[in-house]
Amino acid sequence: MPVDAQAGITCFGLGKTFAGGVQAVAPVDLDLAAGRTTALIGPSGCGKSTLLRLIAGLEQPTVGQVRIAGRTSAEQRRRGAISIAFQDPSLLPWLTVRGNIALARKLARQTPDPALIGELIGLVGLDGFADTRPAALSGGMRQRAAIARALVTQPQILLMDEPFGAVDELTRQQLARDLPPLWQPRGTTTLLVTHSIREAVMLSDRILVLSPRPARVVADIEVPLPRPRAPGLADSPAFRQVAAQASAALALGEDSPPLAAQ
């Protein structure tokens, strides 16, 4: 089944209250344009992962709905249009790194592509570990394998929840430089949850700052930096200005009114 060349994400009054009464996400209207990378930042426990899971269709909303190029998330997942990389990489323990990545293509009913798999393994810095099983990898290496697994299907939609959480700082910087060229020129619509303002600025075109729980958008910041983005960019005044804007919005989040329209 052909998938749409590019797919944007729209959330209409999307909200989630868990059984027991915890309101994680206040009803939110969001438009994530096709082909853009958006970072979600906000205080711990504010509802970032819940919003991502709602968009992925892994969590049912209490109110509202999500549409991805006019279809539900579940429909798009079935079509193999969505890839997800979580902080907990959940690799199959009996398969090697290569086997786990290859399985993702198989599950998406795509033809095997050993060359692409080899290239991705190299790009995430796992050369020499292609035939290693997850138990023999560090947490950061497992996360990098999971990122390669998410990218190998060349999805229309890429959803990442703290994908570099267990990765050391130097490798994070290297991944922030090397990975966006894999999805950005292909027009992949990417949503990334991160605790790192630097990572948000480095990777994204737009940063949405969320308030403490229940999550609502308190700032919508454009990242007008050229691509590709070299690590040295973080020292530029333009980078620092966006980072300062995001940092100030985070600090003020508690008192800010929600933005009317995103």
Ligand X SMILES: Nc1ncnc2c1ncn2[C@@H]1O[C@H](COP(=O)(O)OP(=O)(O)OP(=O)(O)O)[C@@H](O)[C@H]1O
Determine if 98 is a binding residue for ligand X (CB under 6 A): no
Which range in 16-24, 105-113, 180-188, 244-252 contacts ligand X by CB under 6 A? 16-24
State the burial class of residue 113 (Cβ atoms within 10 Å of its Cβ: 0-12, 13-18, 19+). middle
Q: Which is nearer to ligand X, 50 or 73 (CB)?
A: 50
| Residue 175, H or E segment | helix 169-178
Determine if 24 is a binding residue for ligand X (CB under 6 A): yes
Binding characters for ligand X, 176-215, by CB under 6 A (x = yes): -------------------------------------x--
Which range in 1-9, 18-26, 144-152, 230-238 contacts ligand X by CB under 6 A? 18-26
- Measured CA to CA, the distance from residue 27 to residue 16 in angstroms comes to 8
Sign of torsion over alpha carbons 240, 244, 247, 249: negative
Q: How far is the CB of 199 from ligand X (least distance, A)?
A: 13
Which range in 14-22, 140-148, 200-208, 238-246 contacts ligand X by CB under 6 A? 14-22
Determine if 216 is a binding residue for ligand X (CB under 6 A): no
Which residues between 32 and 91 bind ligand X (CB under 6 A)? 42, 44-50
Q: Name 22's Cβ contacts closer than 8 Å, sequence gap at least 6.
A: 213
- Measured CA to CA, the distance from residue 200 to residue 223 in angstroms comes to 9
- Measured CA to CA, the distance from residue 209 to residue 46 in angstroms comes to 10
Residues that bind ligand X (CB under 6 A): 18, 20, 22, 24, 42, 44-50, 213
